Amino acid sequence: MGIRSYLKNIGNALAGRQSRPATKTLHYHAGKNNNSRNSALYDPRSEDAFWQDDYENYSARAREVLRNFPILSWMIDKHADFTSTIDVEFHTKLDWLNDKLELLYEWWSKAENFDAGKRTSLYQYLRINETQRIINGDMGTLKMADGRVMAFDSDQIGTEFGHPNENWFRGVHIDPFTTRPTKYRLRRRNIQDGNLSNNFFEIPANNFYLHACRKHYPNLIRGISPLAPGINAIQDCYEGINWHLVKMKIAAMFGMVTYETKNALPGMRHNPEPLRLHASRSIPALAGIKTRPHANRLRTPDQRICPI
């Protein structure tokens, strides 16, 4: 400790102040704000309530990027390849029973026996279900009485504006104590324009399964997409690529032609004609075309004459 620091500590002691160590400014504490970064306000609300007002905006941005950004589509497809590709085998002590169960499973997995709309098989449905969970945060499956299933995307699970019951949250009626879902409120899409219908119907929770992404928060009522933290960076990459392509296209539309005028510098030859370049040197695609001396024409290999 130098003489200056020693005298300073003596002065602080006489004044009744505590001297702060020099290493205090370099100390890191995750709960302290050292004014070097933007301070975050404490929000005691649940993550469901935090995303409730802005989740439609996120969902619209995620779908827009997914439609036009092949890299994001490829990323999600690779994730689905890893998580949704299954092969079921039965291993009992009876071989004939294993064969019967496998035949029954393959029959039930077909689109006409699995999907109420007879469009997707079991394997396709598992892939779509996981893809929607990544993009929108969740996807619902309604179990029909005949054993088939009907898919409901995230937008079809919701509550109309001004619902009087406070136990409803984004189409899910929950138990106020356990937060267990007791029933769901669903709606269909109009066949003509594809918009959401205004007619809701309620389904008991026992007949409906919500495949939601609850990656970081176990008590979420609805799912939150894992793409939500990175949607800004993904959209910036998508828009940046498009702007660079526009820049390249604009640059490719411009060219330059050089002329010699009467105001040329002393010693330079006057030639009002534009400078002509040999096509074989300037355009690689015309490398086989030969020039004729003392003429402004080019001769092709088949002896056809074409002006420059």
- Domain assignment present for residue 121? The answer is yes
- Domain assignment present for residue 267? The answer is yes
Please measure the distance between the N-terminal and C-terminal CA atoms of the chain and give it in whole angstroms: 85
Instruction: Say yes or no: 218 and 86 in one domain.
Output: yes
Instruction: Say yes or no: 94 and 216 in one domain.
Output: yes
Domain hosting residue 232, numbered range: 48-237
Phi first, then psi: give them for residue 297, nearest 5 degrees. -135, 160
Residue 115 has what pLDDT?
Answer: 93
- Domain assignment present for residue 29? The answer is no
Residue 62 has what pLDDT?
Answer: 85
pLDDT > 90 in the chain, percent: 22
**C-beta separation of 290 from 298 below 8 A:** yes
Residues 6 or more apart from 307 whose CB is under 8 A from it? 296, 297, 298
**C-beta separation of 157 from 59 below 8 A:** no
Instruction: Say yes or no: 148 and 294 in one domain.
Output: no
Please say which residue of 174, 202, 237 terminates a domain.
237
Instruction: Say yes or no: 175 and 274 in one domain.
Output: no
Residue 106 has what pLDDT?
Answer: 92
Residue 120 has what pLDDT?
Answer: 93
- Domain assignment present for residue 287? The answer is yes
- Domain assignment present for residue 245? The answer is no
- DSSP assigned state of 190: -
Instruction: Say yes or no: 217 and 278 in one domain.
Output: no
Instruction: Say yes or no: 169 and 304 in one domain.
Output: no
Instruction: Say yes or no: 121 and 78 in one domain.
Output: yes
Residue 13 has what pLDDT?
Answer: 60
- Domain assignment present for residue 248? The answer is no
Amino acid in the structure at residue 206: N
Residues of the chain with pLDDT under 70: 1-38, 159-165, 255-308
- DSSP assigned state of 23: G
Instruction: Say yes or no: 274 and 134 in one domain.
Output: no
**C-beta separation of 149 from 208 below 8 A:** no
Instruction: Say yes or no: 226 and 85 in one domain.
Output: yes
Q: pTM here?
A: 0.65
- Domain assignment present for residue 42? The answer is no
Q: State how many domains the chain has.
A: 2
Over the stretch 124-175, which tens digit does the pLDDT of each residue have?
999 999 999 998 889 999 999 998 999 999 888 886 655 556 788 888 998 8
Instruction: Say yes or no: 232 and 265 in one domain.
Output: no
- Domain assignment present for residue 10? The answer is no
Over the stretch 265-294, which tens digit does the pLDDT of each residue have?
555 555 555 544 444 444 444 444 444 444
Instruction: Say yes or no: 154 and 115 in one domain.
Output: yes
